[in-house]
Amino acid sequence: MGNRPTIRDVAKLADVSIASVSRALTRPESVKEKTRDRVIEAARSIGFQLNRQAIDFRRGRSDALIVLVSDIANPFYPEFFKGIEKEARERGFTVLIGDTAGGPQSESTYVGMLASGKADGLISNIGRLPQGIPSPVEIEDSYQGPPIVACNHDAGAKIPMVRIDNYSAGKAAAEHLLQLGHRRFAQIHGSLEFSDFRARLTGFSDTVASAGFPIPANLLVPGGLRVQSGRDAAEKLLSQTDMPTAIFAHNDEMALGAIHQLSLSGLRVPADVSVMGFDDLSYASATMPTITTMRLPREAWGAAACKKLIDQILGTDSGVHDQMLPAELIVRESTAPHS
Amino acid sequence: MGNRPTIRDVAKLADVSIASVSRALTRPESVKEKTRDRVIEAARSIGFQLNRQAIDFRRGRSDALIVLVSDIANPFYPEFFKGIEKEARERGFTVLIGDTAGGPQSESTYVGMLASGKADGLISNIGRLPQGIPSPVEIEDSYQGPPIVACNHDAGAKIPMVRIDNYSAGKAAAEHLLQLGHRRFAQIHGSLEFSDFRARLTGFSDTVASAGFPIPANLLVPGGLRVQSGRDAAEKLLSQTDMPTAIFAHNDEMALGAIHQLSLSGLRVPADVSVMGFDDLSYASATMPTITTMRLPREAWGAAACKKLIDQILGTDSGVHDQMLPAELIVRESTAPHS
DNA sequence: CTGTTAGCGCCTTCAC
DNA sequence: GTGAAGGCGCTAACAG
């Protein structure tokens, strides 16, 4: 009854073979005009549409991509996804959300989709290879499994990467603060399970250390990337005897939280202490004070990763296997010369 | 060669029929233990995995959902998606991103996926039915097409809805400001193409009007939901002769932008003018001043919509066809009594 | 240019 | 409890 019409119904109605229907609908130029018109008219009249599942099944492709992220609730992601979705849509691909906040088993779920054909490739932004993928690092030659592009993995893995140059970004942040005359630094850093935060941390630490101002261990405080962790971290710093004059937070959320907490405690930002963020989220330009930060090309990043992945899938991959995108220093009001 | 093993390979290896392999792998209890073990061992040894594409094709289902949003870059979305993704994953579904910022043709793209079987259902958060869906409003009885759940559509459509009670939310915002003694109001509103902003606008306007303080047309200024539009709108308000003492912005981004612009112009918030936002994004509790806003249960909203959609698909839909979720007034520092 | 035919990988009757 | 066979909707040979 309510069954969808199939190619056979159209063929019958247009009085041609099913092959001609297929041709008329997928490669119109390969068919005589009159046939084509008949087919198209017949298809329209019964509301026929090619069955993508059947097509994909036969092609052995799904034209779908999985994007693995560690926590999609992070306000960092919308623009990253936008870049991916746009590139994907333009090239006829579809984007599946893979949030691994549900634990390692959700990783396997998504990797399983790759292996089982639900998706053709995967963009990983979870800092390492997901559970279930045989580690390509251990492979001598090149990676053989399903197409993967890594966005924030360690160098060395033999899979294509499109990354942010976090080490340089950390360095740039440090240089900015050094230039302002700061000498006592702290970092509120993201989880060091992720290589991007490790690089950010090291880039900053290395730079201030080689300027002669290493950061004592008690001024490196980990945070959970949320506003509240920024507050908590600031609290912790406040209780130290050697309060820093400049704080580098690994994202804007924590920077904002820190600024908030410092203000509540009677310290003025930037007069008493400078605070830097990372990401350049929308609000960083509108808070009071506005937040000095490292801007990430989030949308371009997503688009580049997506492009690389699709190129992999299509076998048209062009060039650089480890692409590095720069972060840009945006100087605003939350940092000031150390008086 | 590198071809994936099929069920036939396993059958041959385990020396059973393909039917038994299928049974052993999908309903283990329907097969003798010894057979099962042989099959499983054989499958493992050659790295066999059932082909989801084939299964889905045969079942005529994809276990995929599309989420249509008007602009995924809106920081409002991450938590909404989180709710959807979680619910979907737990029930074995997959979530496709559908960003319609690419124009109406991208809508048709995604609707086409529904019709062609790439996805089983659709959650629409674009304020109206997407291009390509026959309008169910015009249908006498009930909607017949593919399962859809609407998140911010007008009432009256004969499809299931899980909405925010925007009228009441607008009303609550108005009451809060009236209670503080304000009498001259302005709104920075979202595009009135979307029924949620219309409801928000009307709820607020109706309430202040029936209290005897209608809003003149020049104090209703539209905004594009971004921080910058908040600034622009504030600028516009500043140039009016009858500056309001209280501004209701339809989201936190614009509220923040407005606050920023007002401050730049030498007005103090809330001393000179109160500003309210909407959404309760992460930063609303940490800016200075912190932002009074209407909190939306974004994650629960997504989860509820997703649940309803899956219930539709599975034919197990339970109850309410038009579910309303409340917004909650969060009073913070950006609103104060009118002096 | 068009029609016929043989599968793609799997599940599900239907026999045995 | 198990095997054989048909077919889901489509496309890609291969003939005509």
Q: Evaluate the omega torsion of the peptide bond into residue A136 and state whether it is cis, within 30 degrees of 0.
A: no
Distance B145 CA to D11 C1' (A): 28
Cα B172 to the center of its chain, rounded Å: 22
Interface check A54 vs B, CB under 8 A: yes
Distance in Å from D2's C1' to A58's CA comes to: 29
- Asked if A264 is an interface residue toward chain B (Cβ–Cβ < 8 A), one would say no
Order of strands, edge to edge, in the sheet holding A246-249? A220-222, A185-189, A246-249, A274-276
Instruction: Give the single-character DSSP code of A266.
Output: T
Contact present, B215 and B208 (Cβ < 8 Å): yes
**Strand C proximal to B8 Cβ, under 7 A:** yes
Answer whether B257 touches A (CB < 8 Å). yes
In B, residues 276-315, which contact A (CB 8 Å cutoff)? 281-283, 285-288, 299
pLDDT tens sequence across A151-199: 998 877 678 999 999 999 999 999 999 999 999 999 999 999 899 999 9
Round and report the angstrom distance from CA (A182) to C1' (D5): 80
Question: How do residues A224-244 score in pLDDT, each as one tens digit?
Answer: 999 999 999 999 999 999 899
Is A113 touching B (CB cutoff 8 A)?
Answer: yes
Using 50 as the pLDDT threshold, list the residues of chain A that sit under it. Answer: 1, 136-137, 139-140
CA-nearest residue to B52 within chain A is A116
Q: Residue B297's Cα: distance from chain center in Å?
A: 11
User: Chain A residue with minimal CA distance to B106?
Assistant: A89
Contact check, Cβ <8 Å, A53/B75: no
Q: Where are the alpha helices (DSSP H) in B91-238?
A: 104-116, 166-179, 195-210, 227-238
Three-class DSSP category at B331? coil
Candidates A62, A74, A85, partner chain B, best to mutate (most B CBs within 10 A): A85
Could you tell me if B124 and B149 are in contact, meaning their C-beta atoms sit under 8 angstroms apart? yes
Residue B7 CB closer than 7 angstroms to strand C? yes
Radius of gyration (Cα) for chain B, nearest Å? 26
Tell me if A279 sits within 8 A of A248, measured CB to CB: no
Asked if the peptide bond before residue A289 counts as cis, ω within 30 degrees of 0, the response is yes
Residues in chain B where the model's pLDDT stays below 50: 1, 136-137
What is the C-alpha to C-alpha distance for residues A105 and A119, in angstroms, rounded to an integer? Answer: 18
pTM: 0.94
Out of B113, B231, B282, closest to residue A226 by CB: B282
Cα dist. B330→A55, B163, B173, B296, B335 in Å? 51, 20, 10, 10, 11
Q: What does the alpha-carbon distance between residue B334 and residue B286 come to, in Å, rounded to a whole number?
A: 11
Q: What is the C-alpha to C-alpha distance for residues B64 and A118, in angstroms, rounded to an integer?
A: 10
Tokens (6 digits) for A335: 């940092």
Sign of CA dihedral A325, A331, A333, A337: positive
CB contact under 8 A, A96 and B95: yes
Q: Coil, strand, or helix at residue B13?
A: helix
Would the Cβ of A31 be found within 7 angstroms of any atom in strand C? yes
Judged by C1' against the alpha carbon of A29, the nearest nucleotide is: C1
Residue type, B267: L
Asked if A51 CB < 7 A from strand C, the reply is no
Which helix or strand (DSSP H or E) is residue B68 part of?
strand B64-69
Contact status of A190 with chain B (Cβ, < 8 Å) = no
Strand-pairing partners, residue A275, are A247
Place of tokens 């942010």: A164
